[in-house]
Structure 1
Amino acid sequence: MSKSFERFQRRKLISSYFSVTLSIALVLFLLGILGLLVLNTKKLADHFKEQIAISVFFKDTAKQVEIDELQKSLVMSEYTKSAVFVSKEEAAEQHSEEIGENFLEFLGYNPLKNSIDVNLNAAFVSTTQVDSIAAEIGKRSFVEEVSYDRPTISLLTENVRRIGLGILIASAVFTLIAVLLINSSIRLSIYSKRFIIKTMQMVGATKSFIRRPFIWTNIKLGVFGALLAIVALFGLLYYLDLNFPQLGVLQDLKMLAILFSGVFILGLLISLVSTYFATQRFLNLRTDDLYY
């Protein structure tokens, strides 16, 4: 009879530990996905910013040596990601491909200009900075026009700011929810041992002595939960890298280290803090309150 009761208690204990570990793992996995989104928001925003180009069109009288000097100057500038020369013939071919017919045969001449397409580094993509850069380039006497999509730059900058703020707010809310969920799971597991806690307290055990094994046990559960979450996150990242290699999610080792370390540390901290306050609550309860 006693052996069957012990087996029942052991199964109950394992079930309790399993549920706590699983809840920690699931919550940390969701937080990891959110962290991945946060860490990649800037990268994604920078990618879109660097797709915006400034087109520098030259006068027909512009000498090739002047164009080459300007291109070299642009390539050496801190704000430039790339500066590619596009001849009027290449521009005509591209335009013909886009419209699906050879417009040169209809016009009889090539109205397009030699140009340089300048892609800026993301840090310099804002309306004020692009205006300043365009004005500086346009001072050259052989430059006919500097063209760029100012409304798109303004809209992109504003949307990036809004999305970044939204993700930060969502991160704070989800982190709070995660803490509450893990805290609830740990409190329920300790609740089932409230009579043991009170019995130990009645025979003279100190609060720190009673609290220590609970903290140590739940820290181990937090570690297991964090490791499960990290394995699941790595599996998700591997799947993304396999199907969307252009994202390069497994190439950024610094980002992966920050993400996995953050998940692991968060699992430890939440488990430690939640267990401390949960045990403290039951240690401070009167004996009559244990039944409610």
Structure 2
Amino acid sequence: MSKTNDKFEKKRLRSSNITVIISISLVLFLLGIFGLIVINAQSYAEHLKRELKIEAYFKDVEDPKLKDKELDLQKSYIDSLKVKYSFVEATKYISKEEAGKIAKKDLGTDGSDFFEESIFPASVQITLNPNTIQSVEQIDSINKVLAKNTIIDEVKSDKEAMVTIYQSINKITFWLMIFAVIFLVIVVILINNSIRLKIYAKRFSIKTMQLVGARRRFIMKPFLIEGAILGFFAATIAIIGLSALWYTLATKVGLLLWNPNYTALILILIAIGVIIAIFSTLFAAWRYLRLKTDQLY
């Protein structure tokens, strides 16, 4: 009879553990999908920021003595931009000839009837570092800084497009943060409920150990270790599922398979799975330790 009871208890315990792991892994899987959306939305926002270029136009050198050194002066200025300013991610030099060709292409003509290529000034096209630029006001300040150099004639940027893009990015970021907080609260509640049900099934074992003189720390230690292990396994299953989903989606749509931020997402999912499982176990077990025997029923 005793062996039958032991087998039944082991079977019920195994079933309970599997249920907890599946429940937590499903919740973490959904949280991971949301994390993928946030990361890729951020990557797209950075891509949009990189598309916003600032163009600084060089002055024509009028001094005949410096005319031969004009190209060297311009390239020296371009090389100094990345060294001096953290907001510069990349630069591209556009010569007078290239500027003329771009203008002809934009106007839809290949002839030289309207203008000569040499009338367009040389310029440097600057790609801004999206990590350092958070508002259009910063871009206005950058324009003023670049315009102060004596070899720069004019600095241009598409301010209207920048305002529209930054406003859109700020709105998207705001709502993503709101949904992230709501979703995280839901995750905590669902994981907590799964753990509480598991501990509820062991409430008599907890109280029995307490009645025979076991200390609270001794009683809770195996439950906390088990909770951490279950949380880790659940997070691992969720990550495997997410990886399979993202690989299938990325290969079909043509997205990047890996983003450096995915490492942070993996660590966050593991941390959430383990930490919430530990604290849920702690609070649930502590509750039953404080109850009287007749309150267990």
* TM-score between both structures, scaled by the size of structure 2: 0.77
C-alpha distance in structure 2 between counterparts of 1:241 and 1:76, whole Å: 39
Aligned partner (choices 276, 282, 285) of residue 279 of structure 1: 285
SS of aligned partner of 2:214: coil
Aligned partner (choices 57, 67, 70) of residue 66 of structure 1: 70
Would the alpha carbon gap of residues 285 and 143 (structure 1) be closer, same or farther in structure 2, given more than 3 Å must change? closer
Shift, 1:178, TM fit: 1.3
C-alpha distance in structure 2 between counterparts of 1:174 and 1:232, whole Å: 19
Identity of aligned residues (%): 36
2:21 aligns to what?
21
Single out whichever of 31-40 and 275-284 deviates more from structure 2. 31-40
Would the alpha carbon gap of residues 246 and 110 (structure 1) be closer, same or farther in structure 2, given more than 3 Å must change? farther
2:142 aligns to what?
133
Shift, 1:279, TM fit: 1.1
1:32 aligns to what?
32
Would the alpha carbon gap of residues 190 and 57 (structure 1) be closer, same or farther in structure 2, given more than 3 Å must change? same
SS of aligned partner of 2:115: coil
Aligned partner (choices 213, 225, 228) of residue 219 of structure 1: 228
Aligned partner (choices 58, 72, 80) of residue 88 of structure 2: 80
Aligned partner (choices 113, 117, 120) of residue 120 of structure 2: 113
2:269 aligns to what?
263
SS of aligned partner of 1:147: strand
* Cα deviation digits, residues 44-64 of structure 1 (max 9, x gap): 433322221123345677768
Shift, 1:35, TM fit: 4.1
The count of aligned residue pairs is 286
* TM-score between both structures, scaled by the size of structure 1: 0.78
SS of aligned partner of 1:249: coil
Would the alpha carbon gap of residues 286 and 95 (structure 1) be closer, same or farther in structure 2, given more than 3 Å must change? same
Kept in 1, the 8 Å contact 2:100–2:120? The answer is no
Alignment-mate amino acid for residue 236 of structure 2: L
Shift, 1:280, TM fit: 1.3
Kept in 2, the 8 Å contact 1:75–1:82? The answer is no
User: Gapped runs of 5+ residues in structure 2?
Assistant: none
Kept in 2, the 8 Å contact 1:58–1:144? The answer is yes
C-alpha distance in structure 1 between counterparts of 2:224 and 2:166, whole Å: 47
Shift, 1:20, TM fit: 0.1
- Cα-Cα RMSD: 3.5
SS of aligned partner of 1:50: helix
Kept in 1, the 8 Å contact 2:96–2:122? The answer is yes
Alignment-mate amino acid for residue 215 of structure 1: L
C-alpha distance in structure 2 between counterparts of 1:220 and 1:129, whole Å: 48
Would the alpha carbon gap of residues 204 and 91 (structure 1) be closer, same or farther in structure 2, given more than 3 Å must change? same
Kept in 1, the 8 Å contact 2:250–2:256? The answer is yes
Shift, 1:244, TM fit: 6.2
